[in-house]
Structure 1
Amino acid sequence: MSDLKFQPEDVVDKSFDYVICGGGTAGLTLAARLTEDPSVTVAVLEAGEHNIGEPLIDVPGQFGQTFGNLKFDWSFPTTPQKHSLNKSYLWQRGKGLGGSSAMNFYAWTKPPAGDVDAIEALGNPGWNWEEYSKYTRISETFHVAQKEQSDLYPHTHDLAFRGESGPIQVTVPHSVHTIDQIFQETLVKKGLKAIKDPYGGDITGTWMASANLDPKSWTRSYAATAYYMPNRGRKNLVVLTEATVARVLFADAPGKELTATGVEFIHGGKKLNVYAKKEVILSAGAIKSPQILELSGIGRKEILEKIKVECKIDLRGVGQNVQDHTYFGISYELNPDHKHETYDLMRDPQFAAEAKRLHSELKGMHRIGITSFAYFPLTSASSKAAALIQQAAEGVDALKKSGKLEPGQADILDKQIESLKDDKLPDLEIIAFPGYFTTITAPEAGKNYVTVLSVLNHPLSRGTIHARSNDPLDHPEIDPAYFENDSDLENLVQHIKYIRSMTDTEPWKSGVVREIDPGPDYQTDEDLRKYIYDCHGTCWHTVGSTSMLPLDKQGVVSPELKVYGTTNLRAVDVGIIPIHLATHTHATAYVIAEKGEFITISRRPRR
């Protein structure tokens, strides 16, 4: 599959209609859609390697195996977090064609309708659930659970919510059905609603997730294999890898809106140029897109002065309003009286080798996915919910009165408090990972585990991402400001208490033997806070750094995704999301690219 690789001479000093900065999830989706018109030429610049056909990417059931490997992973460090014991964290992000869609855990999830409608309410006409639903179906082809799967667990689907002809292949992964059973049944008994199909805008309850896997080959279906590879032979598409974007080039037009004329990039240690006849599009992700803007002279004047870049547009929102999902796990040893074939088996080298062999026969553990999810409001988790929500609201009011809020932040925070008060919208997320996935205690050989993952979906804390120098090869300075707002930490404390309460309800009660991490030494709220400090980390879902908001609300892009102050520079990636969503962001990245290509560029009718 890796037979076609472009060389610098295919783009250097040449002109294309569109130059796309970043060959990740959104960038390759855009490129494929734009070049459906044979008269449109597109060049894509990707900093990472070609990476297509790599077993570490293609074969599922290798959770995190590419993390820390610089061939696949940017491994961005954060600044020390002063509200989290001054710890620094690594943010793993995909480097290479397909971006993070090549290294995520391939859970295919979508947000509640209310979260998407909140984006429109913040000043973005057309960015609502109805539009989201249309474009997400365009991106996918759904395959129902196979009989052997349904015989083990009763998977339910509503095909009206699913796509039937899109590039991304989506199906029900093979799961540890015994884990799904005790997790799902317990949560229903605890009062959560069983969701038949969570892809229609209602996710508040407990449900089974799909995965972006192709059931014909049981391999990852992602931007590179689904959007790029089938179209790589198009004469109007050039994709150059190992090409790091340095800055966007602009025509001289003092006192007027800037017009992008091309892109300067680095390949083989040399600075080279490619030119755009129509538009330059930033699809480098929530971490790199703001850095590229700043290196191009668009951003906060004081930041640009600090890194010695001429300020062309003092655009205050660049690199601001950063929101990240953070997560950690609670691990349990499973009752050995019940047979569970969990992911723990993969720690046995002999079993792992056999699993790899079986995958060639479309069998075995390498078809596994993460399937059991639950999303629910704080009111379903804690008797103290009303007081905690009031505390959060008072904290926001105090911020507003302090005068410390950036423009637009009051509107966003008010919207988040409004959602907290709505018991139809979820605040808490828990996931059953069918194996050991915590770090304090070592798992024991021969035992089976389940780890309940806890994810903070709607952080009230706000971070920043800014260039630290004018060197494009330097990582940007990332400050997620974890737990700057104490309500975020309190939210996660309530997660732990809810997860622990599951042991009072069957079948979870008899299905687990003991809690491993954090274990009996962590009892008080302060103990639980310490555990969170010690064990939380990014959930790889950063948004907001190039927010789609009105200019006077510190927006970076308009609802047409055009960077303010420019005529033809756009940002099309998850960085534009101005208020975080209760979902993993992968499927949403395709929506942004699919909708973005239509509303901002070609306006060609979509299927």
Structure 2
Amino acid sequence: MITTNGADLASKTFDFVIAGGGTAGLTLAARLSEDPSVTVAVLEAGDNTIGEPKVRIPGQFGVTIADPKFDWTFFTKKQPLSNNRKVLWSRGKGLGGSSAINFYAWVKPPAGDVDAFEKLGNPGWNWEDYLKYSKKSETFHPPAQEQTDVYPHSYNVEYRGTSGPIQVTVPPHVYTVDNLFQETMVNLGLKAIEDAYGGNTTGTWICSSNLDPKNWTRSYAATAYLPQDRPNLAILTHALVSRIIFVDRVEGQDLTASGVEFIHNGNTHVVHARKEVILSCGVVQSPQVLELSGIGRPEILSKIGVDTKIDLPGVGENLQEHNLVATVFELNPAIKHETLDLLRDREYAQEAVRLYAEGKGMLRTGITSFAYLPISSVKSVEAENLIKQTEREIEEYKNTPGIAPGLREQLDIQLETLRDDTMPDFEITGFPGLFSLSLNPEPGKQYISLVALLNHPVSRGTIHAKTANPQDTPEIDPHYFEKDSDLENLVQQVKFMRRMVQTEPLKSGITGVEVLPGEGCTTDAQIRDYIKDNHRSAWHGIGTCSMLPREKQGVVDPQLKVYGTKNVRVVDISIVPIQIAAHTQATAYMIGEKAADLVRASHAL
């Protein structure tokens, strides 16, 4: 049951109450409610956007971004090392959460990044388990003949799920750009990866998308996981969770949650939980709800007028975010391409809509060309200096007075990754079109954008409630470029992308015109300013409810239970304790799948 009637849930009791109907939350709700003896309620602050064309139809990159119907449109506080900019942090608002508005990239991390979770004190959180649960979430569809006729796609079925809810395939239609990208990367010394879904992503490869090839629609949490009619599952939209309700404390015992308070149509209600309260509000709002419930750093709570129930200083800390920057080049018009730029032309776009109704055309497009590479593969003095700079900054950081407990171990792992030639430090994606918020394509021209991501930031940020009002946006402070090696990492990636366009076949595939940053941006100082003015969030923030031992500033244990509580868990991407070299949606589904087994096991369901 999906409802907008608050009375359907208010004052009622369910076995499990899940705050947040996003990627992991709906995954968990669907799995728990497979048992007809269990009752589950989901409270989602956004709308029911199932069936909305902006969500359903692929190929429309960015149409939901900054649209308040679909996007929370959070902004960071001013970032002093990004020329005092406030950076947009889009997060999905509505059933399915960010899985309803992302760019469909289905990416899994390298095995070493996941094994780091276990090294940090979380038994069972390793690559073997990751692969098991991520395969459970997906059904992979091999490329169709129309694709293999024009591009030699490769895959390994052992790494792919065959019966999960999320439909995954390789989208067609940008093979000419893929050829330029992939062959150039091989000519620069990267290995072509047969299938990057088995724990090895270092090299160049074709990415899958969460698209259903039967009808070429987005396959995501709200459509793939939710059953049509399940009487033991109730979902209320437009319901903003304000805090967790606890029974009176028993001296010497952990707190027990009895339900949650929520706001619906301006009225405050309570829904009761017989077994557990589970937060799935995401990296921004899960820590906010904990703080408004009295769980967090006492100095933060006292500032907003909330009494401390559990002193848990890790709440809202350890934020790590991927950010990205693009270089853009004009494609050579002598080579025929179909890029997303064509959709800016009204007649072409109308024809694309007509073709889409027949299961054809450009609206089936995704982002397919990815490369992950260690810094050492760049083979330049500057790259070697970046490694030395990062090592030096990490050693200094580890010796900072008052450094957060457990952070030294994270930084040691990051150093191991940096020094490991089999692990990626750079990520470069080939976007088939002009990737810019400020520029539009010139009529008749087409573009390739090379997009660099900072995968393992050294800087750590915070997200904290600013007031006790749940409708007020929390303060997001990623501390962008607080550690200069993060900025230098992107500088070196920009330089590498410029090397790419001097390498065949990409060299012949472009006109030689660099649209962004442009010919006037030549010195390191100029590149740094370009990055500061133009970098964006990749919407992959993690860590604000880190799964770590409590003494290491953890918020949840390996069972995802919040320390100091008997029956509160966090099940979303905020529990990831150290950043991964991957886009995060596949990981969010994995967390939801694994959490379902953890919850069932603890209640013998």
Helix, strand or coil at the partner of 1:504: coil
**Which residue of 282, 285, 293 maps to 2:282?**
285
Specify the alignment match of 1:493 in structure 2: 491
Number of aligned positions between the proteins: 602
| Equivalent residue, structure 2, for 1:300 | 297
| Structure 2 residue corresponding to 1:57, chosen from 55, 62, 65 | 55
Aligned residue for 1:532? 531
In 2: Cα distance, 1:517 partner to 1:11 partner: 51
1:44 — aligned with what?
42
Q: How big is the shift at 1:346? A: 0.5
Give the partner amino acid of 1:375.
Y
- Percent of residue pairs bearing the same amino acid type: 58
Deviates more, 1:403-412 or 1:270-279: 403-412
More displaced, 569-578 or 169-178? 169-178
Shift of 1:460: 0.5
Give the aligned residue type for 2:288: Q
Q: 1:322 to 1:564 in 2, by over 3 A?
A: same
Encode CA deviations 1:448-481: one digit per residue, 9 max, x unaligned.
1100011100010100000010001111110011
Q: Deviations over 1:46-103 (max 9, x none)?
A: 0001111101000001111011111111001110001111110111111000000000
Residue matched to 1:322: 319
1:387 positional shift: 2.8
Matched, 1:550 2:549: yes
- CA contact under 8 A between 2:320 and 2:541: conserved in structure 1? yes
What is aligned with 2:225? 227
1:6 CA drift (Å):
5.0
Kindly provide the amino acid, as one letter, of the partner of residue 276 in structure 1: A
Of 315, 335, 338, which residue of structure 1 is paired with 2:335? Answer: 338
Q: Hey, what's the Cα distance between the residues in 1 that align with 2:474 and 2:502?
A: 46
Q: How far apart are the structure 1 equivalents of 2:278 and 2:179?
A: 45
SS of alignment partner, residue 18 of structure 2? strand
- The superposition leaves residues 109-128 of structure 1 with CA deviations (integer Å, 9 ceiling, x where unpaired) of 10000000011101111000
Residues 1:17 and 2:15 aligned together? yes
1:575 is matched with: 574
Change (3 A) 1:48 1:358: same
> Counterpart amino acid of 2:410?
I
Give the Cα separation in 1 of the matches to 2:483 and 2:4.
47
For the residue of structure 1 that corresponds to 2:81, the secondary structure is: coil
Q: Distance in 2 between matches of 1:411 and 1:175?
A: 44
Alignment match of 2:186 (pick from 185, 188, 191): 188
Pick one of 416, 441, 444 that aligns with 1:443.
441
The answer on whether the counterparts of 1:389 and 1:420 sit within 8 Å (CA) in structure 2 is: yes
In 2, Cα distance between equivalents of 1:507 and 1:390 = 33
Q: 1:504 aligns with which of 502, 511, 520?
A: 502
1:195-252 deviation per Cα after TM superposition (whole angstroms, max 9, x unaligned): 0110000000000000000001100000000001xx1411110000000001000011
Q: Is the 8 A contact 1:330 1:438 kept in 2?
A: no
Q: Distance in 2 between matches of 1:272 and 1:296?
A: 15
What is residue 587 of structure 2 aligned with on the other side? 588
Rounded to whole Å, the distance in 2 between the matches of 1:218 and 1:532 is 35
What 5-or-longer segments of structure 2 have no aligned partner?
none
- Structure 2 distance, partners of 1:344, 1:431, is 17
Secondary structure of the 1:44 match is: strand
- How far apart, CA to CA, are the structure 1 residues paired with 2:250 and 2:395? 42
Structure 1 counterpart of 2:124:
126
Q: How far is the alpha carbon of 1:603 from its aligned partner?
A: 6.4
Contact residue 17 and residue 277 of structure 2 kept, 8 A: yes
Q: Distance in 2 between matches of 1:479 and 1:73?
A: 19
> Which residue in 1 is equivalent to 2:241?
245
Mapping of residues 15-414 of structure 1, within 5 Å: 15-228=13-226, 231-255=227-251, 256-384=253-381, 385-414=383-412
**Are residues 329 and 605 of structure 1, via their aligned partners in 2, closer, same or farther at CA, if it must alter by over 3 Å?**
farther
Please state whether the residue corresponding to 1:263 is helix, strand or coil. strand
Normalised to the residue count of structure 2, the TM-score between the two structures is: 0.98
> One-letter code of the match for 2:372?
Y
1:601 Cα deviation (Å)? 3.3
State the alpha-carbon separation in 2 of the partners of residues 155 and 604 from structure 1: 44
Q: Distance in 2 between matches of 1:340 and 1:232?
A: 41
**Are 1:23 and 1:99, in contact at CA under 8 Å, matched by a contact in 2?**
yes
Asked if 2 retains the 8 angstrom alpha-carbon contact of 1:319 and 1:464, the reply is yes
CA distance in 1, matches of 2:18, 2:76: 26
> TM-score w.r.t. structure 1 length?
0.98
Q: Is the Cα contact below 8 Å between 1:561 and 1:600 reproduced in 2?
A: no
Aligned to 2:245, the other structure's residue is in SS state strand
- CA distance in 2 between counterparts of 1:373 and 1:446 reads 27
What secondary structure is seen at the aligned counterpart in 1 of 2:192?
coil
- Partners of 2:359 and 2:604 in 1: CA distance: 38
Partner amino acid for 1:20? I
Q: Which runs of 5+ in 1 are unaligned?
A: none
Deviation (angstroms), 1:319: 0.1
CA distance in 2, matches of 1:440, 1:507: 28
